[in-house]
Amino acid sequence: MWTILLTLAAITHIRPSDAKANCPLYGPLLPKPINLLQQPEIQAAAKALDAIFPKYIDNDKSTGSEHFSYSVEVFSASEDKPLWNHFWTAPNLASFNSTGVSKVDANTVYRLGSITKLYTVLTFLATVGDGIWNDPVTKYIPEFAAVAKQTHGGSMFVPDWDSITVGSLASQSSGLMRDYALLGEVTYQLKLSDLYAIGFPPISLYEIPPCGVNPTCTRKQLLSGISKLPPSFAPGTTPVYSDIGFTILSYIAEKITGKKFKSMVQDSVLTPLNLTHTFVSAPDDSLGIIPGNRYSTSWAFELAEEAATGNMYASAGDLSAFGRAVMRSSLLKPAMTRRWLKPSVFTSDPKGTIGMPWGIRQIDLSSSGASYQSVHAYNKLGSLGAYTSLLVIIPELDLGFSILAAGDPPPGLAMDIADTITSTYIPTIMTLARNQANATFSGVYKYTGNITVGGGGGGGNSSGTNATGPYPTNPPAAKTMNSTLTISVDASKPGLGVTNWISNGTDMAFISVAIGANITDDYFSKVKPSVRLYPTGAEEKTTGGGKRVAFKAVFEDLSLAEKKASFSSDCTSWVSVTAVVYGSKPLDMFIFDFDKDGKVTDVENAALRVKLDKVSSI
């Protein structure tokens, strides 16, 4: 078996030391870097991959590259053009008299297989929303309600339809069987006489599904077949991959909207996103890569009623555009996208959880895995006939990639490519994030007395109104007030560091830790205060073309011991968010002011109600 022997930039080795590690809040550790295509680091990564893919895949016969074609794109939500792409056409494609393309490029269409499920869920969210996730499916599918009424005494052989929720279909936690009459039904793959010969008992013909691949099932046949399939588990027990769930999801959407599912996908997702190389049904052969016969490759196989689980087709360029649209929340309210991009259920692999229906990998940013710094890759794999596909998005980094292959690739090709891309781009993007944050925020901030003190952060409009509470809106200008702080970026620590934080002569870093933790006198000398800031995503425009951007501070005492037991943990920062509030203004809220040119002019701690001018960069 081959592997790509590359780690372009070794993932930063973070810590270890005796002190407890910083425990960041879940989410981006730094503001996302921008203008990626102009960055030499991104160009260098692309150049390195340009050399590596031909060397280790295309021109290495041991990979069997003669027999498969593929398209790969790396993209960012902040760029319309890909960060990198690469296409390989199998030399043996020429021997097939293919009705498809003769050379693969960014517009070449592949079958997506199960990546279709992402389009199905996005279509559902864009039309029906996520408000009905906890409704039972019987509310929308009367056929199941009828079966639910007939079940007596348990649900071992018939699903407990009243307990299966709409959301559980999307998150693979309905417990329903994988397929009805499609994959896995051996009476379709082998002759009955052969099955008897290898030990299966004779069965009556009425037990054999009347439909499947050829002919595909009608809606009536499907509902009648599905309604009585023995469930794998009771709903909500454990994730169980189920294609059926997505067919049912499409029926529910049809019932609610009164439209056919395929038109819903087209009208609510493909057309608004201008995905002109994405198709719900087979497009013209000339657009696709078809490594052989259009039927034997499954290019032309129409899943009919089960389209919502795997029928779609897309080019690498369009698959990337879809991934970008998800991260940009182009079709949904941002809050709905944030709900969508979360895990729903666990798997036995602690680094792997399941969303709707994302597979979610937690990727540590330290090679030792000893820190609490990680990103989360939301992915979906697809496979149908001669086609293999993978879409990955990493929302914390605005990064994603599309991998599409056709022909006879080695098993694990998509995952090996994914490993290579992540080990190249995650450290690159993290480095850029650090460099850009360093250039933007790092520096010394001081009370210079020439900024009018506002009513504190959060409201955005303090002009003409007085802040609530006893603090006056415009305190007498205290030109000599000894207030300062330093912002820095650290190669191994998460977020922006706040050091030398003095408020009117007082060491605020120490106070912020001590006041939150109620540390007693004898402990004072041991405290190692740490103040680090994380992006909140909250920002507002200011008059004059600038903006204010809010960060959340985590106050930690790094002198505390590492704790990793069943219950004891040294990483519970989320519980202590905004534990200290002064006159309704949080001590952990820091607001940076940007001018119209994107330069940071000052920072304000909401509770301290005073703007500190940026007086120097580091």
- Single out the segment in contact with ligand NAG by CB under 6 A; choices: 9-17, 195-203, 346-354, 499-507: 499-507
**Which region, judged by CB under 6 A, interacts with ligand NAG, from 82-90, 171-179, 183-191, 464-472?**
464-472
Instruction: Pick from 473, 486, 542, 576 the residue near ligand NAG by CB under 6 A.
Output: 473
In the set 59, 62, 276, 468, which binds ligand NAG (CB under 6 A)? 276
Angle (CA) 132 134 139, round 5°: 70
> What three-state secondary structure class fits 584?
coil
**Which is closer to ligand NAG, CB of 245 or CB of 495?**
495
Q: What is the DSSP string of 541-553?
A: E-TTS-EEEEEEE
% helix / strand / coil in the chain, to the nearest 5?
30, 20, 45
544 forms part of the interface with ligand NAG (CB under 6 A): no
Answer yes or no: are the C-beta atoms of 331 and 122 closer than 8 Å: yes
Taking the complex as a whole, the smallest distance from the CB of residue 345 to ligand NAG amounts, in Å, to 37
Cβ 565 to ligand NAG shortest distance, Å = 24
Q: Does 389 help bind ligand NAG (rule: CB under 6 A)?
A: no
CB proximity list for 89: less than 8 A, separation 6 or greater: 69, 102, 103, 104
Residues 33-52 interacting with ligand NAG (rule: CB under 6 A) = none
How many helices and strands in the chain, by DSSP H and E? Answer: 14, 22
Residue 554 CA to residue 536 CA, distance in Å, equals: 12
Q: How many residues bind ligand NAG (CB under 6 A)?
A: 31
Q: Which residues in 324-344 are b (16+ Cβ under 10 Å) and which e?
A: bbbbebbbbeeebbeebbebb
Interhelix angle 40-53/413-441, nearest 10 degrees? 170
Residues 6 or more apart whose Cβ sits within 8 Å of residue 477: 449
**Residue 274 contacts ligand NAG per CB under 6 A:** yes
Smallest distance, ligand NAG to C-beta of residue 543, A:
8
Minimum CB–partner distance for residue 412 and ligand NAG (Å): 28
Query: In what helix (H) or strand (E) does residue 119 lie, and over which residues does it extend?
Result: helix 116-127
Which residue in the set 146, 183, 335, 491 belongs to the binding site for ligand NAG (CB under 6 A)? 491
To ligand NAG, the closest distance from the beta carbon of 171 in angstroms equals 33
Closer CB to ligand NAG, residue 193 or residue 450? 450
Nearest to ligand NAG of 249, 533 (CB atom): 533
State which of residues 278, 424, 438, 573 lies at the interface with ligand NAG (CB under 6 A): 438
Q: How far is the CB of 470 from ligand NAG (least distance, A)?
A: 10
**Closest separation between CB of residue 107 and ligand NAG, Å?**
8
- Torsion (CA) 97, 101, 103, 105 in degrees, nearest 10: -160
The answer to whether 93 touches 102, Cβ cutoff 8 Å, is: yes
DSSP labels, 10-37: PPP-----SSPPP-PPSS-SSPPP--GG
Interface mask (CB under 6 A) for ligand NAG, residues 233-252, using x and -?
--------------------
Q: Which residues contact 130 (CB under 8 A, 6 or more apart)?
A: 167, 336, 339, 340
Is the CB of residue 301 less than 8 Å from the CB of residue 121? no
How far is C-alpha 386 from the geometric centre of its chain's CA atoms?
A: 27
Residue (of 255, 275, 237) closest to 118 by Cα position: 275
Residue with tokens 């200011």: 542
> Using CB under 6 A, which of 465, 468, 584, 616 touches ligand NAG?
465
The binder of ligand NAG chosen from 215, 475, 537, 545 (CB under 6 A)? 475
Residue 469's SS3 state is coil
Assess 582 for contact with ligand NAG (CB under 6 A).
no
- Region of 162-170, 178-186, 326-334, 462-470 interacting with ligand NAG (CB under 6 A): 462-470
Nearest-approach distance from CB 437 to ligand NAG, in angstroms? 9
Please tell me whether residue 377 adopts helix, strand or coil conformation.
strand
Nearer to ligand NAG, 199 or 544 (CB): 544
Would you tell me how many other CB atoms lie within 10 Å of the CB of residue 89?
22
Segment near ligand NAG (CB under 6 A); pick from 395-403, 430-438, 559-567, 575-583: 430-438
Nearest to 85 by CA among 535, 538, 425, 402: 402
Closer CB to ligand NAG, 242 or 373, in the complex: 373
The encoded tokens of residue 193 equal 């006489």
Shortest approach of ligand NAG to residue 430 CB, angstroms?
11
Q: Of 181, 135, 72, 153, give the one whose Cα is nearest residue 405.
A: 72
Is position 271 an interface residue for ligand NAG (rule: CB under 6 A)?
no
Closer CB to ligand NAG, 342 or 528, in the complex:
528
Cβ closer to ligand NAG: 78 or 224? 78
Toward ligand NAG, which CB reaches closer, 241 or 471?
Answer: 471
Distance CA 308, CA 119 (A): 8
Q: How far is the CB of 451 from ligand NAG (least distance, A)?
A: 7
Contact status: 513 vs ligand NAG (CB under 6 A): no
Q: How far is the CB of 354 from ligand NAG (least distance, A)?
A: 33
CB of 465 to ligand NAG, least distance (A): 5
Closest among 508, 605, 515, 595 to 547, alpha carbons compared: 595
Q: Considering only residues 518, 525, 566, 597, which one is a binding residue for ligand NAG as defined by CB under 6 A?
A: 518
Of the residues 404, 429, 502, 514, which one makes contact with ligand NAG according to CB under 6 A: 502
Contact segment (CB under 6 A) with ligand NAG among 200-208, 251-259, 324-332, 476-484 equals 476-484
| Other Cβ atoms within 10 Å of 274 Cβ, number | 11
Strand 496-503 relative to strand 352-354, pairing: unpaired
Contacts of 186 (CB under 8 A, 6+ apart): 195, 200
- 143-151, 217-225, 350-358, 433-441 -> range binding ligand NAG (CB under 6 A): 433-441
Does the footprint of ligand NAG cover residue 108 (CB under 6 A)? no
Contacts of ligand NAG in 83-102 (CB under 6 A): 96-97
Q: Is 504 in the site for ligand NAG (CB under 6 A)?
A: yes
Binding stretches for ligand NAG (CB under 6 A): 96-97, 274, 276, 434-435, 438, 442, 448, 450, 461, 463-466, 473, 475, 478, 481-482, 489-491, 502, 504-505, 507, 518, 520, 613, 618
